[in-house]
Chain A
Amino acid sequence: MERMRRHHPDYAGSSGLVVEQSRDYRDTYQTVSRQVLGSLVDLPGSKLVLITGDAGHGKTSMCLDLLEDLGVPKTEAHDALQRDTRAETVLAHTPSGRPLRVVMDLSYFSQETAGELLENLFHTDDDVTVVCANEGHLRAAISTLTDDLMTPALDILRSSDATGRISDDLGQIYVINLNYQSVLQGFQPQSGFINWALADYLDDDSEWAICNQCDARDICPILETRNQLTDVLHGPGRRNAIAEVFRAVEESGVVVTFRHALMLLSYALSGGMDCSRIQSHFDQDPTDRTWQYQHLYHQAIFGDLLDDGIRSAIPALEAARLLDPGYTSIRSVDDQFDIADLPRMRPPDPRTLHQSMRTTAHRRQYEESVRAVFVYLRRAAFFDADRPDRLRRLGLENGEVFQDLLEGSDLTESLSTKLIAGLESAQGIPGLPGTHPLRVVDPAFYSEQSTAAVLSRELSPGNISVRVPLNLSPERDSEWQLSDTVEWSPRRIDLVLRIPGANHVTIPLGMIEFELLSRWSEGLSCRVQHEEVVRKLLAHLGHVPPPPLIDSDDLRLIVNGAPLTLDFANGRFRSWN
């Protein structure tokens, strides 16, 4: 319990949680990157191994593990890293005998100093240096350098998710980008970091044995959460549902660091409470069952009780809140709820709270409490729902289709029709019913005021396909691929537009963008709210080249949604449909 409390986002020391210090008593989670790092530093020719990623991915921990593997005891390694921030001394030797230096955190230095340091380290003779840096700071540091020595590193950062490359041409700079590290492994909710952490928190009966003697065990939300998640019948499904929330968050384009994942999980499992606070509730009223509901895992994971500052510091939580099943109303789901038959730890019953409703304020309170009950029930039901239904309850009606595509299924005809209609509506063209070619308009007409647009190109549905990045990389020209260096699971699909006589145009789609496109295909679109997505899609569509010139003076137009051909030869304007 105490360990869990330390991981809470609102725990005083948690922001400084750098590495789990007292963890020698159990195994830590083994990442692929640990072994990869060991191999990379031993490659002949490698000079710099940059470990990048947001704070909390476990960069420092990887370095400590590496040093431990090379025979430096952990406490000693920790002290050495703290002392020698500039990597002035050689800390260990790789198996083939190369001197190894480590910069634990580039953020200790200003951008300029960091840039210089990188350059100096690059020029050391036979040494290899491991440098940990937050991605933003690394980019900023490299951008201060005037020469192009370190630019390959930026190129790798920029394009490795498309090319899979993690090194420069000469094999001197390697980048392990932990931002691509997934808290799931593959697509299996049963493996990966989330599942490991859940098991680590919940499954050791000896750690929880003390609860059996606790007076407050009947009213304890933490114990209730544990019981629900270790339930033989429903437990595994609920854990999978938790992992799927994280998967949806990652697929919506948010990087979930191990630290944030731990914070969220520990907070969800304990509901932000600890034993002493529960004890004081128990002391006040040992039978009160009205306060616990907010502290159960299925409510706490959406962080209602945390304040804004803490919430905004955890992007994963912000993203999860956007997907909150409590605010997605689905008739067939809501109809199953029975307010009269609420579970043991439940929100206050609206009917008993407000027996008389004389004023508007009363009515508003009543409405509020009914809403609270529904939010509670929807969230609780989400974790018990069947898998195919869960994404719909997160508000992602097309989420399952997206995940199928990620897992390798092909584009069906109806799906490509849908995507075509979505792309057209992003360009401001009203859709046509049925299967039709993708109409791409001239970029000059990408604006809301356009009532007419020049059609630049039409692409038949057969020219549209979907590719999952890095799943098929036929030309593995270098030994190391991005997907080998981290717990990789693809998070986006590439929509590939094959253009006869020209290069492909690739449009990357995350889960949210896919969802929006699918919805726009039905004619709903809000260009202002989703301006960013629209701009991004149009920037890609703008790369579709117009067809080779034919010497004719007619234009294919779309006027108020209807096709029209306009002929303007010799300054005479004629048109036909």
Chain B
Amino acid sequence: MVNVDDAINGTRQNIYGFLPQQKDNGFYIALEFFALVRGVCALNPQKLLASDSNGKRYQRVSHDFARRVACGVLPLHDLDGIVDREETLAATQALFSSLLVVSPGQNKLSKNWKTRHFFPFNGEMVHYDALERGRPPNREIIIQEEVFRGAGRWLYAALSRDMDSQRKRVVIDRLQDLFATDSSALGRLFTSAATHNVSPVESNFPDLLSSIDLREDVSEWPERLRQGVENIVRRDDLPNASRIRDLMHWMPFCLARHVLALAAGTTDNPEPYLAVDLQRQSNQLKSQSQSQVKDFRSLFTKALLAEMPQEVLMDVSSSSAAMKRANKWSGATAGFFTQTLFKVGALNSEGGTRNFTITPPLSAALVAAATPPGKEMNFNNFMDVMATNFGAVVGRPSLTTIKWLDRIDNGVFEKNERLFASQLRASGLLTRYSDSTSMVHREVPR
């Protein structure tokens, strides 16, 4: 008898090269990657993004103390000898909670500290997952994966297998700088708070080579990811926080699109272009986009069915019944895809009838990924890059391969494009020079 769960996971591993999980979505993907980077930097900085890291030692820090303080789950009487009075605790809580990552749809008052992570403003603040085990009074905190379930490892693998050694060197250098040990006030605060954590764990670096297949023959996204990451990290004129925020949007976006591209490739479909709609009222582009969100879900299912070993499917009588069951099996992949795009701001809602969109932080990341540092790009060229490289259709592209384009009026595209331009302009990413030309740029002009 074949174990169904094993078969499903085996098939998903074959299709996607890693196991996408619904829990492990959005910013967590980037945060896991940062935790790996920092962990390697702490013990073996020269091994960062080395292609044969398997088994090398790296360090994992939990920051469970600061996270529990931030979420308000540590009462004063538990902090005897650590915190002197109620006001101090309140101030410390306010301070730490201001530093947590907030992703869309997340309850800001949630007391579940295991799902709340710090925004990595410096190396000290980067941390790994931790969780609680056992019942009180024997409850203990251990450093183990909770929401970091492998997507961050995929990013690490993708960047470490970069064939362009010059680019890889640049990325390694800048990542080391971004997550270097920081002696600023904030860095020292976290060093100090870390003394109350469960002790950091040194462990063997996960084996990326055998568990992760980038499948670059089917999807171009790993390469796009690297190019974009290089463009983002090289922006020395931008504050670290902005670069990190751009990475946190760009990298998960790429991975979600990679998963979609692989699902399409498995079912012999061309890579889909997302219909991105920014308008409020319903229009042809929005309905196209809404039906795409639904279609992609069944695309993941079809991909799974196409690759599943026959013996698992044998006991199912009809194809519709098989589809129904497979829908359940592909839930994790579909959830990973939609949740990730929603968290980075490419999907307008967490549930219900949804459409693809672009929010200001994501557009900043896309501009950063598309343009070389310090350079500006004509808005029309940027729209071309958006369509051809990023597969996101905002205005009418010059591509003829997209079938659904004929169904949409020009006026809809024009309005959409205008809205996008004004969004970019409001975030300081676009300058309109005269009637004819607008330029996009990531750096805020003086």
User: Which residues from chain A sit less than 8 Å from chain B, CB to CB?
Assistant: 54-55, 107, 111, 134-137, 139-140, 143, 158-159, 162, 313, 442-445, 447, 449-454, 456, 508, 531-532, 535-536, 539, 542, 546, 549, 553, 555, 557, 559-560, 564, 566, 568-575
Collect the chain B residues with CB atoms within 8 Å of residue A442's CB. Answer: 184-186
Is B92's CB within 8 Å of the partner chain A?
yes
Are the CB atoms of B186 and A454 closer together than 8 Å? Answer: yes
Collect the chain A residues with CB atoms within 8 Å of residue B89's CB. Answer: 573
Are the CB atoms of B444 and A546 closer together than 8 Å? Answer: no
Partner of B94, one of A162, A536, A559, A569: A559
Query: In the complex, A317→B132 CA distance in Å?
Result: 63
B198 to chain A: closest CB distance in Å?
Answer: 14
Decide: A456 near B185, CB < 8 A? Known: A143-B378, A573-B82.
yes
What 6 pairs between A and B have smallest CB-CB spacing? A136-B437, A136-B433, A452-B94, A571-B195, A54-B434, A450-B98
Are the CB atoms of B98 and A452 closer together than 8 Å? Answer: yes
Are the CB atoms of A143 and B375 closer together than 8 Å? Answer: yes
Query: In the complex, A81→B333 CA distance in Å?
Result: 63
Is B284's CB within 8 Å of the partner chain A?
no
A569 to chain B: closest CB distance in Å?
Answer: 7
Are the CB atoms of A140 and B378 closer together than 8 Å? Answer: yes
Query: In the complex, A531→B85 CA distance in Å?
Result: 38
Is B439's CB within 8 Å of the partner chain A?
yes
Query: In the complex, A539→B377 CA distance in Å?
Result: 21
Residue of A nearest to B84 (CB): A574
A162 to chain B: closest CB distance in Å?
Answer: 7
B213 to chain A: closest CB distance in Å?
Answer: 37
Query: In the complex, A350→B439 CA distance in Å?
Result: 49
Query: In the complex, A572→B196 CA distance in Å?
Result: 10
Is B322's CB within 8 Å of the partner chain A?
no
Are the CB atoms of B377 and A143 closer together than 8 Å? Answer: yes
Collect the chain A residues with CB atoms within 8 Å of residue B432's CB. Answer: 136
Query: In the complex, A351→B97 CA distance in Å?
Result: 60
Query: In the complex, A542→B97 CA distance in Å?
Result: 21
Are the CB atoms of B189 and A444 closer together than 8 Å? Answer: no
Are the CB atoms of B446 and A162 closer together than 8 Å? Answer: yes
Is B436's CB within 8 Å of the partner chain A?
yes
Are the CB atoms of A542 and B434 closer together than 8 Å? Answer: no
Are the CB atoms of B184 and A573 closer together than 8 Å? Answer: no
Are the CB atoms of A54 and B444 closer together than 8 Å? Answer: no
Most chain B Cβ neighbours within 10 Å, of A139, A159, A450? A139
Most chain A Cβ neighbours within 10 Å, of B89, B185, B426? B185
Are the CB atoms of A553 and B188 closer together than 8 Å? Answer: yes
Query: In the complex, A456→B121 CA distance in Å?
Result: 14
Are the CB atoms of A569 and B192 closer together than 8 Å? Answer: yes
Query: In the complex, A508→B445 CA distance in Å?
Result: 11
Collect the chain B residues with CB atoms within 8 Å of residue A443's CB. Answer: 239, 241
Residue of B nearest to A453 (CB): B98
Query: In the complex, A135→B83 CA distance in Å?
Result: 59
Collect the chain B residues with CB atoms within 8 Å of residue A444's CB. Answer: 99, 119, 121, 186, 241
User: Which residues from chain B sit less than 8 Å from chain A, CB to CB?
Assistant: 81-85, 87-92, 94-95, 97-99, 102, 108, 119, 121, 183-186, 188-189, 192-193, 195-196, 239, 241, 375-378, 425-428, 432-439, 444-446
Collect the chain A residues with CB atoms within 8 Å of residue B439's CB. Answer: 136, 139-140
A531 to chain B: closest CB distance in Å?
Answer: 6
Q: A546-B184, A555-B189 are in contact. List 5 more A-B contacts (CB 8 A).
A: A449-B108, A456-B185, A559-B90, A566-B92, A573-B83
Are the CB atoms of B91 and A575 closer together than 8 Å? Answer: yes
Can you identify 12 A-B contacts, CB atoms within 8 angstroms? A55-B436, A136-B436, A444-B121, A453-B95, A536-B444, A549-B184, A557-B91, A566-B92, A571-B82, A572-B81, A573-B84, A574-B83
Collect the chain A residues with CB atoms within 8 Å of residue B99's CB. Answer: 444-445
Collect the chain A residues with CB atoms within 8 Å of residue B435's CB. Answer: 54-55, 134, 313
Query: In the complex, A313→B434 CA distance in Å?
Result: 10
Are the CB atoms of A560 and B94 closer together than 8 Å? Answer: yes
Query: In the complex, A539→B427 CA distance in Å?
Result: 12
Are the CB atoms of A137 and B94 closer together than 8 Å? Answer: no
A399 to chain B: closest CB distance in Å?
Answer: 23
Are the CB atoms of B434 and A445 closer together than 8 Å? Answer: no
Residue of A nearest to B192 (CB): A568
Most chain B Cβ neighbours within 10 Å, of A140, A445, A449? A140
Partner of A535, one of B376, B428, B438: B428
Query: In the complex, A245→B396 CA distance in Å?
Result: 40
Are the CB atoms of A575 and B87 closer together than 8 Å? Answer: yes
Decide: A553 near B192, CB < 8 A? Known: A452-B91, A535-B428.
yes
A86 to chain B: closest CB distance in Å?
Answer: 19
Collect the chain A residues with CB atoms within 8 Å of residue B192's CB. Answer: 553, 568-571
Query: In the complex, A536→B425 CA distance in Å?
Result: 12
Are the CB atoms of B94 and A539 closer together than 8 Å? Answer: no
Query: In the complex, A575→B241 CA distance in Å?
Result: 28
Collect the chain B residues with CB atoms within 8 Å of residue A140's CB. Answer: 378, 437, 439
Are the CB atoms of B436 and A451 closer together than 8 Å? Answer: no
Query: In the complex, A445→B426 CA distance in Å?
Result: 22
Collect the chain A residues with CB atoms within 8 Å of residue B444's CB. Answer: 535-536, 539
Collect the chain A residues with CB atoms within 8 Å of residue B436's CB. Answer: 55, 107, 134, 136-137
Query: In the complex, A397→B249 CA distance in Å?
Result: 41
Are the CB atoms of A568 and B446 closer together than 8 Å? Answer: no
B378 to chain A: closest CB distance in Å?
Answer: 5
Decide: A573 near B88, CB < 8 A? Known: A443-B239, A444-B186, A555-B185.
yes
Query: In the complex, A422→B161 CA distance in Å?
Result: 49
B118 to chain A: closest CB distance in Å?
Answer: 10
Are the CB atoms of A139 and B376 closer together than 8 Å? Answer: yes
Are the CB atoms of A532 and B92 closer together than 8 Å? Answer: no
Collect the chain A residues with CB atoms within 8 Å of residue B376's CB. Answer: 139, 143
A542 to chain B: closest CB distance in Å?
Answer: 5
Collect the chain B residues with CB atoms within 8 Å of residue A571's CB. Answer: 82, 192-193, 195-196
Collect the chain A residues with CB atoms within 8 Å of residue B437's CB. Answer: 134-137, 139-140
Are the CB atoms of A449 and B102 closer together than 8 Å? Answer: yes
Collect the chain B residues with CB atoms within 8 Å of residue A535's CB. Answer: 427-428, 444
B185 to chain A: closest CB distance in Å?
Answer: 5
Collect the chain B residues with CB atoms within 8 Å of residue A559's CB. Answer: 90-91, 94-95
Residue of A nearest to B433 (CB): A136
Collect the chain A residues with CB atoms within 8 Å of residue B185's CB. Answer: 442, 454, 456, 546, 555
Collect the chain A residues with CB atoms within 8 Å of residue B425's CB. Answer: 532
Are the CB atoms of B446 and A508 closer together than 8 Å? Answer: yes
Collect the chain A residues with CB atoms within 8 Å of residue B377's CB. Answer: 143
Most chain A Cβ neighbours within 10 Å, of B83, B183, B425? B83
Collect the chain B residues with CB atoms within 8 Å of residue A143's CB. Answer: 375-378
Collect the chain B residues with CB atoms within 8 Å of residue A566's CB. Answer: 88, 91-92, 95
Collect the chain A residues with CB atoms within 8 Å of residue B91's CB. Answer: 452, 557, 559, 564, 566, 575
Residue of B nearest to A506 (CB): B446
Query: In the complex, A257→B358 CA distance in Å?
Result: 34
Collect the chain B residues with CB atoms within 8 Å of residue A573's CB. Answer: 82-84, 88-89, 92
Query: In the complex, A442→B438 CA distance in Å?
Result: 33
Are the CB atoms of B82 and A572 closer together than 8 Å? Answer: yes
Decide: A111 near B378, CB < 8 A? Known: A136-B439, A572-B81.
yes
Collect the chain B residues with CB atoms within 8 Å of residue A447's CB. Answer: 98
Are the CB atoms of A451 and B427 closer together than 8 Å? Answer: no
Decide: A134 near B433, CB < 8 A? Known: A531-B426, A568-B189, A571-B192.
yes
Collect the chain B residues with CB atoms within 8 Å of residue A531's CB. Answer: 426-427
Are the CB atoms of B375 and A451 closer together than 8 Å? Answer: no
Query: In the complex, A574→B95 CA distance in Å?
Result: 14
B428 to chain A: closest CB distance in Å?
Answer: 5
Residue of B nearest to A445 (CB): B98
Most chain B Cβ neighbours within 10 Å, of A162, A557, A572? A572
Residue of B nearest to A571 (CB): B195
B408 to chain A: closest CB distance in Å?
Answer: 23
Partner of A451, one of B94, B241, B426, B438: B94
Residue of A nearest to B377 (CB): A143
Residue of A nearest to B426 (CB): A532
